[in-house]
Structure 1
Amino acid sequence: MYLSRRALLRTTALGLLAVPAAACSNGGSAPALVRERPTLTHGVAAGDVRRDGAVIWARSDRPATLIVETAGTDSFTNATRHVGGLLTPDSDGTGRLRVTGLPSGEQVHYRVTLEGDDGATSEPVTGVFRTAPSAPGDIRLQWSGDTAGQGYGINPDIGGMPVFDTMARRDPHLFLHSGDVVYSDGPLEETVELPDGRIWRNIVTEPKSAVAQTLDEFRGQYAYNLTDENYRRFNSSVAQIVQWDDHETVNNWYPGEILDLDEYTEKNVDVLAERAFRAFHEWLPIEPGEAVDGRIHRTIPYGPLLDVFVLDMRTYKDANDANVGPAGQVLGAAQTDWLIDELTRSTATWKIIAADLPIGLVVPDGDTAFEGVANGDPGMPSGRESEIARILSAIKARGITGTVWLTADVHYTAAHHYSPERAAFTDFDEFWEFVSGPLHAGGFGPNDLDGTFGPEAVFVHAPPEANLSPLDGYQHFGEVFIDGETRQMRVDLLDSTGATLFSQVLDPPA
């Protein structure tokens, strides 16, 4: 039996490989799926850590029970066994289990196996994560966004997606994926000719050959990224905090949108977003029941020095062409209230607000609409800026300290300082916003700054022209280091080789 290269890659990505049954040798039966034991097809991942545990994710190639063992060392001496549910085709073979009862502030080794209904078990796959601490200690958090976009997928000539290996070698405690975890609207071709004549090569699977519209096609976007060895190894080495942006569904989408794109037969974005939402939660280490509305926005406490507030700037936003009036929404009233209340309750020294869209960068959607918060009018807050103004005013009025905004989206890296002294709107305390990306996608930028909240671009590293490939050095991630003794925060902006491009030290609140 012969499988084309593309067919082989597709079946490998799905964890299923058809082989001839024994009966085929005598000219009888059609090929059958032979699985002597269940298989973990796409590695393992941990997410949304707490002081006593984390969410563990895995995928099986057939119905099987998820088993997780946890221990203090990689020898798994005196391991604790946690039994999860049955992984079935209803969830594309994926499943997750929140493990609890673990010590705080410790490195946890975990070992995942699958148990079939006949008692056969899979080969184990191992990983590590650190539980949230109960006492002050050093914390290293990385963040970035935008994976396998603009036609740049897994390239075997450069070892796949090497930025994930670079990040893993720095041994972070947490990784914040700031959105565009996949590019469901970004089909890949096997070769891309770059402007200077070089050839970019992609591994291509069937789901990555066209825009995603069906549930299985959305699932295939996540399966594709996890065929990269660097990505799988990174997933198994650090606890994640994931959020979504637009490309998990379709570029620049908003609720209620009807597409005018020839490549889509399903024009209703709400239908596409529902399928994308399901695939997102199936394939990532996030438990929707632990998020507000069972969706995305949630608080991740990580000890006395750090709380992370994860925003959803996609689900509740208004139309992009409406971002010019006296009022607008990118979070919605309920999420805005939630963020203000959560920030008020937080006692952590540092409060990271994880935003999937930047605050002050103008991100156009065509000639007259705006994708993000800013709308190009440097005057008083209007449109979606009104919600951000309300949040900033509440932070000042309530004496909330230590807020830092982290974001991605625009495919370059930058450090923005916001000050009322430079702003049209002045009812807020100065703060920093740090931008980082892409992880593995086309490089763009820089974008114009909107003066409403007085931003200054203290540092920018952006390509000289649009859509430069990952070969050209404009791939980025950011890193936050909190010193457990001094409580000082240092924010580094790095390129995909791990070289530090910019550093900013922030003193802890008095």
Structure 2
Amino acid sequence: MAIAIRGKRGLTRRHLLVRSASTLALAGLGSLAKPYLSRAADRPRITCGLQSGDVSTNSAMVWARADRPARMRVEYSTRERFDTILGAASADALPDRDFTSKILLEGLPPGQDIFYRVRFEDISGIPGETQTGHFRTAPTDDRSISFVWSGDTAGQGWGIDASRGGMRTYRTMLENRPDFFIHSGDHIYADCPVPSELKLPDGEVWRNIVTEEKSAVAHSLAQFRGNYKYNLLDENLRAFNAEVPMFAQWDDHEVTNDWSPIGSADETGYSEDGTSRLVARAARAFHEFMPMRESREEAGRVYRRVSYGPLLDVFLIDMRSYRDSTWNRRDDGSDTFILGKAQLAWLKRELAASDATWKVIAADLPIGLVSLDAIALGDGPPERREQEIADLLSFVKRAGVRNTVWLTADMHYTAAHHYDPNRAVFSDFEPFWEFVSGPLHAGTWSPGELDNTFGPKAMFQKGCSAEQGDNLAPCFGLQFFGRVDIDGRSEVMTVTLKDVGNRDLWSVDIEPRPDARPGKLLAQHI
């Protein structure tokens, strides 16, 4: 349950009714809670650290999880000492959400460091421990921006080996002190159990922390939830989450490998409305554990736009929830899609309406890398799912939308792709960049094959060598993320591809182009 409280003001009758309803909900669960004792061990605990997300100029989500039915209390300030409190908010942590709770903080000052502290109170109102977190609201002026992106965590059985430093890429990203982090998907690998040990090519042994819920392929809601709780055992991830807000999207492994809405199910089958029960359980766990805003237009919607001041809009798209069946596509190419009609129309409208200098399209899959599950299928004109991408790219050109950059992960190596109509079979679009990074903490693969439909050229790529072989363990150093810096004066975007050791592997400066939209009266193009 999420409750938005605007600043520190008197409670209205509506707030009192909401709070009273929450109190009754908690009181009704009294039989589930342990009798309260004064010992610290019997106080409500924060079990998985803190998270913030979807930060804008004046609001942000805050997330935490308790170990029992409780109420989450949040106080926030622009001062780390909390000697001045901007406001306070509360929300319930109940069994039906696995004791997770999130609150939308509103009325925040723009361009400010916000410090927040969280505690849980049990049904008697006596508080447990307090933890503190931090995020920075988006600016309303042209100050510089820095953020990081990547994806793919705890894949291929490579879990948390504490003796090797755990999930070290999160620690490295924290050292960069970004304004926010885009997680491009595969937060978990629900279809990849974590064994106690894995043999390494050099003869050594990788030793995982293991849990019951992460020891089998996820089917039950408890197992999907357990995948997120497993990752949050890592101290690097918890430290990162407490300091850097996340813009979350998902890909396939939050459900199962290469999933699509039709054709991805287990023995429980489908609900009466035709939806997969497996996908529903996976989606429920994802939304419970992500610090995301809840869509008012569509329950469970992942795609959204996050505005981060005059220099940047981030468009987080969803290439899973609305796609055609991965394995049952028609040979004539009809009825095949990756975004779906509603999301594609939304993306066009939002891009056309954006006043930001840079429009970052955060995708969960690359455009031009050949894969049966993805978009590109090989050289030639746009076919099947490529037709939606061609439609989008043509619209961007026709509508005069400038300065679009695509960011993604998924491929388990890092690369910079430049798309140019002069190299392409399909040429009705403006040149643009796409950057690939990851994995954060999973097996590393060798670079893939590009097709010529949209004219991509690999300006840089790094992954496993043929000698190393695919699925190289994280301890060999080929774990990647990307950093984006936008200069407030020149508006130049600098994209740097980095590794777990914080080494700069490759970098490019991209000059912004002037807006070509005549009066922004673009409805006729949509």
- Alignment TM-score, normalising by the size of structure 2: 0.87
Q: Which residue of 2 aligns with 1:133?
A: 139
**1:416-437 CA-partner distances (Å, limit 9, x unpaired):** 0000000000000000000000
- Flag the 1:481–1:343 CA change in 2: closer, same or farther, 3 A: same
The yes-or-no answer on 1:84 pairing with 2:86 is: no
| In 1, Cα distance between equivalents of 2:249 and 2:498 | 21
Q: Which residue of 1 aligns with 2:471?
A: 467
Q: Which residue of 1 aligns with 2:351?
A: 343
Letter in 2 for 1:86: D
Shift of 1:289: 2.6
Matched ranges for 1:43-54 at <5 A: 43-54=49-60
Q: Which residue of 2 aligns with 1:399?
A: 400
Pick the aligned partner of 2:480 from 476, 481, 490.
476
Matched ranges for 1:57-136 at <5 A: 57-136=63-142
Shift of 1:226: 0.3
State the SS of the aligned residue for 2:397: helix
Contact 1:281 1:287 in 2 (8 A): no
Moved over 3 A (4+): 264-269, 290-294, 323-327
Contact 1:324 1:375 in 2 (8 A): no
The yes-or-no answer on 1:248 pairing with 2:242 is: no
Contact 2:78 2:86 in 1 (8 A): no
Q: Which residue of 1 aligns with 2:387?
A: 386
Q: Which residue of 2 aligns with 1:372?
A: 374
Letter in 2 for 1:320: T
| In 2, Cα distance between equivalents of 1:343 and 1:144 | 23
**1:443-469 CA-partner distances (Å, limit 9, x unpaired):** 012111011000000100010121000
Contact 2:264 2:279 in 1 (8 A): no
- Flag the 1:493–1:324 CA change in 2: closer, same or farther, 3 A: farther
The yes-or-no answer on 1:508 pairing with 2:512 is: yes
Q: Which residue of 1 aligns with 2:302?
A: 296
Contact 1:323 1:375 in 2 (8 A): no
| In 1, Cα distance between equivalents of 2:296 and 2:54 | 9
| In 2, Cα distance between equivalents of 1:75 and 1:323 | 61
State the SS of the aligned residue for 1:289: coil
State the SS of the aligned residue for 1:490: strand
The yes-or-no answer on 1:497 pairing with 2:501 is: yes
| In 1, Cα distance between equivalents of 2:341 and 2:444 | 34
**1:147-205 CA-partner distances (Å, limit 9, x unpaired):** 00001001111121111111111100010000000011110111101233121110010
Identity %: 48
Pick the aligned partner of 2:279 from 273, 290, 294.
273
Shift of 1:265: 4.7
Letter in 2 for 1:210: A
Contact 2:287 2:300 in 1 (8 A): no
Pick the aligned partner of 1:55 from 40, 61, 67.
61
| In 1, Cα distance between equivalents of 2:264 and 2:478 | 33
Shift of 1:288: 2.4
| In 2, Cα distance between equivalents of 1:474 and 1:208 | 24
| In 1, Cα distance between equivalents of 2:455 and 2:505 | 24
**1:123-150 CA-partner distances (Å, limit 9, x unpaired):** 1111110111111111111000000000
State the SS of the aligned residue for 2:407: strand
The yes-or-no answer on 1:222 pairing with 2:224 is: no
The yes-or-no answer on 1:329 pairing with 2:337 is: yes
| In 1, Cα distance between equivalents of 2:436 and 2:268 | 33
Pick the aligned partner of 1:182 from 180, 185, 188.
188
Letter in 1 for 2:397: K
Q: Which residue of 1 aligns with 2:431?
A: 430
Shift of 1:287: 2.4
Shift of 1:292: 5.0
Matched ranges for 1:305-324 at <5 A: 305-321=311-327, 322=329
| In 2, Cα distance between equivalents of 1:508 and 1:70 | 36
Shift of 1:325: 3.6
Pick the aligned partner of 1:358 from 347, 361, 366.
366
Shift of 1:326: 3.3
- Flag the 1:324–1:396 CA change in 2: closer, same or farther, 3 A: farther
Matched ranges for 1:135-214 at <5 A: 135-214=141-220
Contact 1:441 1:469 in 2 (8 A): yes
Contact 1:300 1:309 in 2 (8 A): yes
| In 2, Cα distance between equivalents of 1:136 and 1:291 | 31
State the SS of the aligned residue for 1:234: helix
| In 1, Cα distance between equivalents of 2:473 and 2:284 | 30
Shift of 1:107: 0.7
Worse overlay, 62-71 or 206-215: 62-71
Worse overlay, 83-92 or 146-155: 83-92
- Flag the 1:501–1:292 CA change in 2: closer, same or farther, 3 A: farther
- Flag the 1:407–1:291 CA change in 2: closer, same or farther, 3 A: farther
**1:266-311 CA-partner distances (Å, limit 9, x unpaired):** 5668211100100001011012235755410000000000000000
Contact 1:60 1:94 in 2 (8 A): yes
| In 2, Cα distance between equivalents of 1:131 and 1:475 | 29
Q: Unmatched 5+ residue regions in structure 2?
A: 1-33, 515-526
Letter in 2 for 1:338: W
Shift of 1:258: 4.7
Shift of 1:225: 0.3
| In 2, Cα distance between equivalents of 1:402 and 1:137 | 18
Q: Which residue of 1 aligns with 2:47?
A: 41
State the SS of the aligned residue for 2:96: helix
Q: Which residue of 2 aligns with 1:10?
A: none
Matched ranges for 1:24-39 at <5 A: 36-39=42-45
